[in-house]
Amino acid sequence: MATAKPPARKAAPAKKAAPAKKAAPAKKVAAKKAAPAKKAAPAKKAAPAKKAAAKKAAPAKKRTPNAAFMKAMTPSPTLAAVIGANPLPRTEVTKKVWEYIKKNDLQDKAKRTMINADAKLKEIFKKAQVSMFEMTKLINGHLK
């Protein structure tokens, strides 16, 4: 675009001297702009096709689970009142807490990211209301 502006500035004095010269460079500039645009368009079409192929290939690979998340953790007695006393991986602990929250309708009606703690959850969270993002951090303190 920087190259397009200087010819326009030079074109104003050229009108008075020779209008024919102005027309010829304008066509060359237009031709130069059109050619790269055409080259860029097919390249953009080709790139999404490659991305789509890469996305299809990625799910074929099987992911190995992270051992830290799959390690069975023993819940504290207060957390055991909500999810049970059996050792569970962190992922399962979070799922069980969410089951408890949904079953007892503890999500805030106005702001769904907030959880209103009942008596059992208040012992774990130490607050009447917590954010769903803060919840896992507070639960981790009750796992060994």
Q: In CATH, what number is assigned to the domain containing residue 94?
A: 1.10.245.10
* Any domain includes 82: yes
With contact defined as beta carbons under 8 Å apart, do 121 and 128 qualify? no
Tally of domains in the chain? 1
Residue 99 lies in domain: 69-141
For residues 56 and 39, what is the distance between their CA atoms, to the nearest angstrom?
27
* Any domain includes 59: no
Looking at residue 61, its pLDDT comes to 73
* Any domain includes 64: no
Residue 96 CB contacts under 8 Å (≥ 6 apart), including other chains: 82, 83, 84, 88
Looking at residue 66, its pLDDT comes to 75
Q: Which helix (H) or strand (E) covers residue 128, if one does?
A: none
Looking at residue 72, its pLDDT comes to 94
Looking at residue 78, its pLDDT comes to 95
* Any domain includes 94: yes
Nearest to 78 by CA among 126, 31, 124, 24: 124
* Any domain includes 63: no
Residue carrying structure tokens 């959850």: 121
Q: Which two tokens stand for residue 56?
A: 């299809």
CA dihedral 131→137→141→144, nearest 10 degrees, is 130
* Any domain includes 17: no
Looking at residue 64, its pLDDT comes to 80
* Any domain includes 137: yes
Residues in the chain where the model's pLDDT stays below 50: none
* Any domain includes 6: no
Nearest to 138 by CA among 27, 127, 39: 127
